[in-house]
């Protein structure tokens, strides 16, 4: 009985440890599009790029208002000029990961754009949207979004094996009484 359980645990460990991990965005193919005046009205579309160790940079997004870089753990927007986005049901961009479903993306605490709150962000499968409508920006302003890392499969397998081992020890102690 103990041998069968050990063999099952070892097999599970090899399965999870051998599975490819998807932590971060390096190696993923991403694209950036700008939508105005609605989320379904494409205003500008950029070519897709593969995220490398240096990131994937899209220049002159929204007619040159900003550059956007997708890196392993962040999406960074660097503004080139000053303006206020028009009021519309949607006036913003989306980053689409052609390769995988995107992990959770949040506003980095270092971002200081007035009025940018989490209710302006939305995710749908492999797309992440930011609605700038009514917000203002100035040259040199940086907005950063953090991309959550997905746990490695081997880490999850190790955690699961520890829980199973703990359960077996508790079971043996209960049987010994």
What value does the mean pLDDT take over residues 149-158? 60
Tell me the C-alpha distance between 45 and 60, whole Å.
Answer: 11
**Pairing of the two strands 121-124 and 49-50:** unpaired
Q: Are strands 29-35 and 92-97 parallel, antiparallel or unpaired?
A: antiparallel
pTM of full prediction above 0.85: no
What is the model's pLDDT at position 24?
Answer: 78
Burial of residue 80 (number of CB atoms within 10 Å: 0-12, 13-18, 19+): middle
CA dihedral 122, 128, 23, 71 (to 10 degrees): -130
- Across 151-177, average pLDDT: 69
* Phi and psi at residue 58, to the nearest 5°: -110, 120
pLDDT in tens, 90-139: 999 999 999 999 889 999 999 999 999 999 999 998 999 999 999 999 99
Burial (CB < 10 A; 0-12, 13-18, 19+), residue 57, is middle
Identify which of 26, 76, 77 has the alpha carbon closest to the alpha carbon of residue 51.
Answer: 26
How many angstroms separate the CA atoms of 121 and 106, rounded?
8
Residue 136, token pair as written in the block: 């203002």
| Radius of gyration over every alpha carbon of the chain, rounded to an integer in angstroms | 22
| pLDDT tens sequence across 26-78 | 999 999 999 999 999 999 998 899 999 999 999 999 989 999 999 999 999 99
The H-or-E segment that residue 69 falls in is: strand 66-70
Closest to 150 measured CA to CA, from 112, 93, 97 = 97
């Amino acid at each position: 009985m103990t041998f069968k359980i050990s063999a099952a645990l070892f097999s599970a460990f090899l399965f999870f440890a051998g599975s490819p991990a998807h932590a971060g965005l390096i190696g993923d193919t991403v694209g950036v599009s700008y939508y105005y005046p609605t989320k379904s009205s494409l205003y500008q579309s950029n070519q897709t790029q593969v995220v490398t160790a240096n990131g994937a940079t899209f220049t002159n997004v929204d007619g040159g208002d900003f550059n956007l870089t997708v890196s392993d753990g962040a999406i960074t927007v660097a503004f080139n000029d000053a303006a206020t986005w028009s009021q519309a049901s949607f006036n913003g961009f989306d980053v689409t990961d052609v390769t995988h479903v995107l992990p959770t993306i949040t506003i980095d605490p270092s971002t200081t754009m007035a009025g940018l709150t989490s209710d302006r962000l939305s995710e749908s499968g492999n797309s992440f949207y930011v609605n700038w409508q009514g917000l203002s920006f100035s040259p040199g302003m940086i907005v950063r979004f953090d991309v959550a890392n997905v746990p490695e499969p081997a880490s999850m397998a190790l955690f699961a094996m520890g829980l199973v081992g703990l359960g077996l020890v508790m079971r043996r102690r209960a049987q010994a009484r």
